[in-house]
Amino acid sequence: MKVAIYSMLVSVFFLCFSRSFSAELIKASSENKSNVYQFANQCYLINLSHNNSYLAKKGSGYVFSEEKEFAMPFYMRPTALGVYLLFDQEEQYLIAEGQHLHFATSLESEMTLDIPEEDYLITPAEWKLQTVENIKGLYLKNIKENTWLTEGGLNKSPDFAAAINFEPASGCADFPESELGAVGVVTKTLHDNGMLWGFADAHEHSGANHGFGGKIFHGASFHKLGIEHALADCEKHHGENGSKDLMSVTYKSGSGSAAPDSFGGDLYDHLIKGKADHLTDGYPTLIEWNAHQAPTHQGLYYKWIERAYLGGMRVMVEYMESTEVVCEVYKTLLPGNSEAQSCNEMKHVDHQLIKIRELQDYVDAQSGGPGKGWFRIVYSPEQAREVVKAGKLAVILGIEIENPFDCFVDQRDGFEVCDDELVRERLNSYYNKGVRALFPSHKFVNAFSSGDGNAGVLEIGDYLNTGQWRDYVPCKEVPGKYWMKAHGEGEQTSIFSKLAKVPGIDMFNKIFSDSKDLTKQVLPIYPEAAAHCQRTGFTRLGMSLIEEMMSLGMIIDLGHTPRASLNDIIPVLVDYNYPAVHTHGGDQAAVNLINGLSSKGLGSACRDEEGNSGLLASFKNINEQVDPETGLPRKGLSYDFNGFASYNKPRFGELSHCEHQQESPLTYPFRSFAGDIIFEKLQTGEQVFDFNQFGLANIGLYPDLIEEARRGGASQESINALFKTAEAYIRLWERAERSAAQHRKAASG
């Protein structure tokens, strides 16, 4: 009887303890969580804490064995903070299948399967490490199966979870990843005068694969399962041999400015006849994965960004991008292969904001824990300064879309009509989400402003966006002296200009439309050779948006501002003593007047017979365009990767367009301009991105581009000017915030 009672008490005690233990295990103490991050990208044996058995491979799975010689070394590859892939010595993944431990040679993901990519596919290979307060050991939980690692396999109850240790080991297989081609650590953070060291890239789009409905740009800046998934084969999006990559076709026909005959013919050849555009293979071969051969492939893989950072990039402005019209066209032309449930641009912005923070967490996970990574999103110029001083990359968030905050020209079902109050509310909402930079205008007319006036196929896109043709006038009729001309406004002829010569076109328009109003004609008849500009600039609501941005100290990007809008805003910025940026070049006189900063890609590396090049001229210009008071440059660099921009082609090889014979190719290795990093050629999988043969194929070739300029004759002083642009950009942001504070104080007083 006593034995029975004793046994019952022991059972009750064990049950209570188990329940308490279970609760603690699920809770997972936040105080001890730092332990779970330390194993990133290292090799370990896994053994049980209580009997020193080791996880070993047996048959089709894994078991714990007391024979250490059979223990399997695992490479611990983070997929997120505290979550790992266990990659074994035979290049296979530890996975969960029911209550058993098995292995898989490869993993499937939303990038490799013909399914939408908005959400991650959860795999059986993802294991979360957890700790329990005051209890020694670590515990592994399979995320997909929701089961715990036990001595005998897997169990859904945490009561049976086994405490494990990680014993450092050797012999692990290498997890697939891009090499950096860089050796050293960042030590240079300040100029001798105390200014921040480094250059700013003022305009990039690492999340482009999540814009436009998710189908145009292929490849991710990172993927939790690694590079094989981030840079997977693009056939699911671009079709066999890239034949359905319609944006690549448009870009190669003239980046939206194509003549209707060449664009229409190219579109027919690819969409209907299946003409090849590019090879689709991804990692590890990446045969045509570069900005010159496939501009719709990801150019900002995170390891490439890291290489640019090691070469001196200390500020990067990341714009969330999308275009509803392009998304809808893709859904119409290729309905069976569309990613988009919605083409709403703001939904795409929201998703990209999530992904950029996941990228920061992913870099932290690879680096050993929260805050330890080199990629830091910043929300104030003070934070940006601290990040750059710490030798890391400060990332600023922005928005570049057609219809910010769902403010359309036309009234649309399901959307509120934008007014001052609604715009203020939505702008502040995205400010609270971390957005600090914004394009008030872009390609198409929105509720705030006309678009940039870029002619060609984009004129049709503007009609699809608004239901009206552009309201063009001769540029001389637009008042004001400022003119960015960054996207060809006033320099390109409308695709409809030749309609004036079509017999019967006047009668056609009289029958079907109001022939006196160009914007409402069925087909607009613009004068054939006129230099067209947008008639209207900022709307009253647009100026209200600008004023609200200035009250928040936000960065105004004038990169797509048409002439009329520019001449509306420049006097206001002058009155407010408020700076702005123009990240597509622009009217330097206007930029200087507002004490702003312009940026764009650098000139061609091709050298003429005297050894001169556009690249050298760009560096010289950066050095010459300086603020006389601070000595800081008013001109910098922005390449707009994943944004259909121009990138430096190589001087040698099949991709070269140089007119003259080139000599003195760039030789490797070379030392960074700061002197703290030694660079070899960038190699990703089997592809070696030699700058001589590929030019600026992706952002990772920035160090090579700078070295090319140095070897080509750019002066130390001119290159040093580029490395002052991080200071220049942050100081501009500081001036914006000071101006905002002064005007808020004046308004309240």
Residues 6+ apart with CB under 8 A from 90: 57, 103, 173
pLDDT at 262: 66
Answer whether residue 680 shows pLDDT above 90. Answer: yes
pLDDT at res. 256? 44
Tokens encoding 558: 């004038």
* Residue 520 pLDDT exceeds 90: no
Select the more confidently predicted residue: 156 or 483. 156
- Binned at pLDDT 50, 70 and 90, residue 274 comes out as confident
The helix (run of H) or strand (run of E) holding residue 267 is helix 260-271
3-state secondary structure 114-164: CCCCCCCCCCCCCEEEEEECCEEEEEEEECCCCEEEECCEEECCHHHCCCE
Q: Is the pLDDT reported for residue 331 higher than 60? A: yes
Write down the pLDDT at residue 368.
Answer: 96
For residue 63, name the pLDDT band (cuts at 50, 70, 90): very high
Give me 553's structure tokens.
């100290």
pLDDT classification of 30: cutoffs 50, 70, 90: very low
Q: Tell me, which fold does domain 24-168 have in CATH?
A: Trefoil (Acidic Fibroblast Growth Factor, subunit A) (2.80.10)
Q: What is the pLDDT of residues 138-162, one digit of tens each?
A: 999 999 999 999 999 999 999 999 9
**Mean pLDDT score, 76-80:** 98
**What's the confidence (pLDDT) of residue 337?**
55
> Distance of alpha carbon 201 from its chain centroid, rounded?
12
Does residue 19 carry a pLDDT above 50? no
**Looking at residue 13, what is its pLDDT?**
37
Tokens of 493: 């002829």
Question: How many Å apart are CA 723 and CA 637, to the nearest integer?
Answer: 10
Share of the chain above pLDDT 90, in %: 74
Single pTM value for the model? 0.94
pLDDT at 107 over 80: yes
Q: How far apart are CA 595 and CA 719, in angstroms?
A: 22
Alpha-carbon distance 718 to 625, whole Å?
11
Transcribe 46-88 into DSSP letters: EEETTT--EEEEETTEEEEES-GGGBPPEEEEEEETTEEEEEE
For residue 101, pLDDT over 50 is answered with yes
Average confidence (pLDDT) over 681-703: 98
Quick check: bond before 562 cis, omega within 30? Answer: no
Q: Which residue has the tokens 């130390």?
A: 716
391: its two tokens:
């030798």
- Model confidence at 73, in pLDDT bands (50, 70, 90)? very high
pLDDT in tens, 559-592: 999 999 999 999 999 999 999 999 998 888 899 9
Give the whole-angstrom CA distance, residue 288 versus residue 297.
Answer: 9
- pLDDT score recorded for residue 100: 95
Distances (CA, A) of 313 to 55, 189, 603, 630: 43, 11, 18, 21
**Residues pairing with 183 in the sheet:** 678
**Over residues 596-608, mean pLDDT:** 96
| Residue 669 or 519, more confident | 669
Q: Best-predicted range by mean pLDDT among 240-254, 324-338, 622-636?
A: 622-636
Q: Which of 695, 598, 590, 592 is nearest to 638 (CA)?
A: 598
**Amino acid in position 220:** A
Cα distance between residue 181 and residue 172, in whole Å: 21
DSSP-derived 3-state class of residue 403:
coil
Nearest of 562, 502, 510 to residue 528 by alpha carbon: 502
Q: Are strands 393-401 and 375-377 parallel, antiparallel or unpaired?
A: parallel
Alpha carbon 671 to its chain centroid, in Å, reads: 27
Q: Which amino acid is at 711?
A: R
Helices (H) then strands (E): counts for the chain: 20, 28
Q: Are 75 and 172 in contact (CB under 8 A)?
A: yes
Looking at every residue in the chain, the average pLDDT score rounds to: 90
Between helices 420-432 and 540-552, what is the axis angle to 10°?
30
Which tokens is 418 given? Answer: 């934008």
Give just the sign of the alpha carbon dihedral 79, 84, 89, 90.
negative
Phi-psi group of 186: left, alpha or beta (phi > 0 → left; psi -120 to 50 → alpha; rest → beta): beta
pLDDT tens profile 373-427: 999 999 999 999 999 999 999 999 999 999 999 999 988 999 999 999 999 999 9
pLDDT at residue 265 in the model:
77
**In the prediction, which pLDDT does 338 show?**
52
Q: In this predicted structure, what is the pLDDT of residue 18?
A: 43
pLDDT digits over 647-663, tens only?
Answer: 999 999 999 999 999 99
Q: Where are the domains of the chain?
A: 24-168
Mean pLDDT throughout 416-443? 97
